[in-house]
Amino acid sequence: METVVYTKHSATCPQKANKFSRRCKCRKWIYITRERRRIPAKTRSWEQAERQARQMTGEATAADFGGQTVRQAVKLFLEDKAQQALSKNWEGKLKREMRSLDEWSTRKGLVLLSELSLQRLEQFRTEWKGAPVTRRKRQERLRSFFLYCHKHKWVTENVAANLSLIRVTDPPTLPLTQEQFASVLAAVPQYNARASDRVWRRQRATAMLLLLRWSGLRLGDASRLERAKLSRDGELLLYMQKTGESVYVPLPPNVVRCLRNLKNPNPQYFFWNGTSAKDSTVVRWWTTLKAIFTAAGLPDAHPHMLRDTFAVELLLSGVPLDQVSKLLGHASIKVTEKHYAPFVSARQQQLRDSVKRAWARHESQTA
C-alpha cells in the first residue's frame, strides 16, 4: 500500500500553491493511492504525518511514536500464535480478526495501541456483523489480543476485558427424524434437475448426506475426506487422539458402497478436487444441502443437524455418553452434555423405566 502526505492549506496560507510544502502549519492529510482515499492525519506536523503514513504501510516502529503501534502489536501477536501450532481454522480466524482491527484503526487515524480505549473498542464492535455467538467469539479473540499486549506492558490494562458481554442463547439441538431424513434423500433428484451431469451430482449429494448422517463428521471434514480413511472393513477413521489411539466408526454397508462407487477427478478424496480453496468447498456444499433440505420441505434444516441426528440416536440407543463424546471428537464429556442435555435426560428416563419394569417382573414372580 502506497501513501502520500500532503498539506491542505488554509485560504490565507502563503504556501498554498504547494501542497507538499513542509514549512507551514496547516493541517496534514494522507492519500492512500491504491484505494484512492484521503484521511486526515490529525496533525499539523509533516513529520508526524509521515510517521502515520509509515504505520499504514507497515514500516513504522514503536520508536516513531513513543509507544507500541497497533500494526506492530498485531504483527507480533500473530507471530506468537503461529508458534503455538493452532489449527488452520483457528489461525485463519485470528488473522481475519486482527486484520479487521488494523484496518479499522487505520481508517480512524488511530496509530498507537494506547489510543484504543474502551469507548473506541465499543465503536469497533458496532461494525461487527453476524449472530450473537459469532460476535461473542470475535470479542473473545479481541480479549486474547489485548491480554497479550498487557503481558508485554504495551498497555496498562486489558481494555477488551471491560467490554460488556454479548448475550447468547444457545439454540436447542434438533435432530432429524427418520421420516425427515428419508424425505431429504427423496428430494435429491430435484437438485440440479436440468444439469448435464445431474446423475453424478445426485450421487455425490446422496453420498454426502449418508456420510454426515452415519459418521457424525462436520461438513468441513466430510467435504475433504480422504479415501484412505475408509478401511476394507467399512470402518471410517474419524481422528487420531493425542495418545496416538485411532477413533473409528463403522458405517452401514449401503453407505460404504455409495462412497466407494463415487467418482471424483481426484482419486485421493471422495468429494474434494484437491485444488479449490477449502473454505469455498464448504460453502458450496452448504448451499447445495440447504437447497435439498428446502426441496424436502425443511427450509430451516442445515447440515449440522445430521451430526446431531447421529449423536442423539446413539444416546437414545443406550450408547454411553463418554463413547458418544469420543466419536464426536469433543474435548470433554461436559461439551457433549451441554449440547445434548435433553437427550441425556431422556436416556436417563429410559433407564429408570427399564429398572421399574424389572421391579414389576420381580414382584409378579414373588406374588
**What is the per-residue pLDDT across 102-148, written as a single tens digit (0 to 9) for each?**
999 988 888 889 899 999 999 999 999 988 888 999 999 999 999 99
269, part of any domain = yes
Residue 180 has pLDDT above 90, yes or no: yes
Confidence of residue 183 (pLDDT cuts 50, 70, 90): very high
Q: Both 143 and 263 in a single domain? A: no
Beta carbons within 10 angstroms of residue 359's beta carbon? 9
Q: Both 145 and 162 in a single domain? A: yes
Residue 85 has pLDDT above 90, yes or no: no
Alpha-helix residue ranges (DSSP H) falling in the chain? 46-56, 62-65, 70-82, 88-107, 118-125, 132-151, 178-186, 198-215, 219-223, 253-260, 278-295, 304-316, 321-328, 333-339, 341-366
346, part of any domain = no
324, part of any domain = no
Confidence of residue 295 (pLDDT cuts 50, 70, 90): very high
Q: Both 306 and 236 in a single domain? A: yes
Cβ atoms of 115 and 133 within 8 Å: the answer is no
261, part of any domain = yes
328, part of any domain = no
Domain boundary among 59, 78, 107: 59
Q: Which three cell numbers stand for residue 356?
A: 421399574
Q: Both 138 and 13 in a single domain? A: no
Tell me the mean pLDDT in the region 84-92: 77
Q: Both 162 and 199 in a single domain? A: no
CA distance 70 to 148: 13
Q: Both 183 and 235 in a single domain? A: yes
Query: In sequence order, which residues have a C-beta less than 8 Å from that of residue 111 and are 6 or more positions away?
Result: 51, 52, 55, 60, 65, 69, 70, 105
Q: Both 19 and 37 in a single domain? A: yes
333, part of any domain = no
Strand order of the β-sheet with 3-8 is 3-8, 27-32, 37-40
Say what the pLDDT of residue 86 is. Answer: 73
CATH number of the CATH domain containing 187: 1.10.443.10
Q: Both 187 and 113 in a single domain? A: no
- The structural domain count of the chain equals 3
CA distance 85 to 281: 24
Q: Both 154 and 184 in a single domain? A: no
pLDDT tens digits for range 210-224: 999 999 999 999 999
Domain boundary among 169, 198, 227: 169
Q: Both 54 and 68 in a single domain? A: no
Structural domain range at position 14: 1-59
